[in-house]
Structure 1
Amino acid sequence: MSAEDIEQLPVVYRLALAYAPAAAKPASLALLALDTRLARIGAQASEPMIAQLKLAWWRDQFARAPAEWPKGEPLLGTLRDLGFHGADLAALVDGWEVVTVSENIGSGEAKALADGRASAWAALAKIAGEAPSGAEQKAAKAWSAGELAVEAEDHGKSGSIPRSLRALAVLAALGRRASMGRRPMLEGPAAMLLAMRVGIFGR
């Protein structure tokens, strides 16, 4: 993936990506790009049914073996080359579908999205040669709650997250702060300082 792909990400994702270890940066970028693509399907569709049809295409691809993914979709090729499997990513499609069709975004939608994100990022840890710690779920919940502007179920820290998931740790910290204060994830200088601290030290 290229600098152009990075520019397509939301600013908060680009900030988090900057702290990903070099070895994990390509996979982190691929997951953030997939997350962004799925989110935009819902945001840009004129009707929920249209979004569901487009999301169903991604779900269908992830039900197939990576070798069978269509060559014409560069993001799928990148995910395949990095070692991801459809089983790692299908729940992320499901999570975004729950968010897309919901009329009122709440904790249930945030949990569905978090489940999908946790599955994908746990797979990244394995690809990087690290064992998932179980903290991915809590981190994904904090990130999703902050992004969807809902109250987090648990404001506690995520625990020890594998170093390869440093981008996830940054998003979790920013999401936790946002959900506690009901504010945007990157509001104010304190958000940048928090991202820097977690990005460098992991907590």
Structure 2
Amino acid sequence: MVNEPLSIAPLPRLLASYAGREAARHRLVWAYDARLADVVRTTREPMVGQMRLTWWHEVLSDDSGTKGRGDPLVDALRADPGLSAMRDALLAMINGWEMLLDPLPLDEDALRSFADGRGGGLFRALDHSADPKAGALWALWDLSGHIGDATTTQRAVALAQSYLPVPSRGQKAVKLATGLARHDIALGHTGPQALTPRLYLRLLRMAALGR
């Protein structure tokens, strides 16, 4: 695989470190998720954001391998032998992130579409045996710590609670991500804005206990 094409936030990087032989692919999927997040974060006009996300749809659907060639992330994804198996999940992530182009506050339907697309797709791309509902829970937990809109934050936490209980199945990296989100959401807490020392210690404790 080519060198990693995008920096990854500390929490996803730490989670990927528990993926064993799949760690490089996990980092690549997280990098792709970060690129989609960057599209949403830097878009001021929804139409422009939709065009940028459509570009990713076209990249992933281009069997000729020419669309986007030269983009480090695109090249890295195409170099991964598991791309074809992940394609549907990666496309679902685009559809999920697109929901965040809508004006705030987001309603429950938009949040559910975001969670199922971004979160469910993300977890399926990381581990085909993961439960998409666990991914949806994780996505809402993560969003609640970053969205910056109080109403949307409250709705995200409430909706995430409707996914409980979720099974923690699959590879260790996915189980740990599920466990972190499930802990906070069960208590009605939002996700963190960053990898705090408390969150880091909780993850280490979970990893040591095999959860």
Task: Give the TM-score range, shorter chain.
Answer: 0.7 to 0.9
Structure 2: state its 5+ residue gaps. 145-155
Q: Contact between 2:127 and 2:174, CA under 8 Å: does it hold in 1?
A: no
8 Å CA contact 1:16, 1:199 repeated in 2: no
Deviation per residue, 1:157-198 (Å, 9 max, x gap): 5324222xx333333222233442135265754422321233
> Structure 1's 155 and 55: CA in aligned 2 closer, same or farther, altered over 3 A?
closer
Tell me the alpha carbon deviations over residues 127-167 of structure 1, each in whole angstroms, 9 at most, x when there is no partner.
xxxxx2xx42122122111111121133635324222xx33
Q: Mark the CA change 1:107 to 1:90 in structure 2 (over 3 Å): closer, same or farther.
A: same
1:60-99 equivalences in 2 (<5 Å): 60-65=58-63, 67-82=65-80, 83-85=82-84, 86-99=87-100
| CA distance in 2 between partners of 1:122 and 1:191 (Å) | 24
Q: 2:139 aligns with which of 135, 141, 144?
A: 144
Which residue of structure 2 aligns with residue 103 of structure 1? 104
What do you get for the CA RMSD once the two structures are aligned? 2.7
Give the drift of 1:49.
1.9
Offset at 1:48? 1.9
Note if contact 2:5-2:73 (Cα within 8 Å) is conserved in structure 1: no
C-alpha displacement of 1:38: 0.4
d(CA) in 2 for partners of 1:185 and 1:103?
19
Instruction: Provide structure 1 residue ranges, at least 5 long, that are not aligned to the other structure.
Output: 127-131
TM-score by structure 2 length?
Answer: 0.75
Is this contact kept in 2: 1:115–1:137, CA < 8 A? yes
SS at match of 1:181: coil
| Counterpart residue number, 2:182 | 176
Provide the residue aligned with 2:151 in structure 1: none
Structure with more relative contact order (C-alpha pairs < 8 Å, separation 6 or more): 1
| Aligned CA distance change for structure 1 residues 183 and 34 (closer, same or farther; 3 Å) | closer
Give how far 1:50 is off: 1.7
The runs of at least 4 aligned residues of structure 1 exceeding 6 Å deviation read: none
User: TM-score normalised to the size of structure 1?
Assistant: 0.78
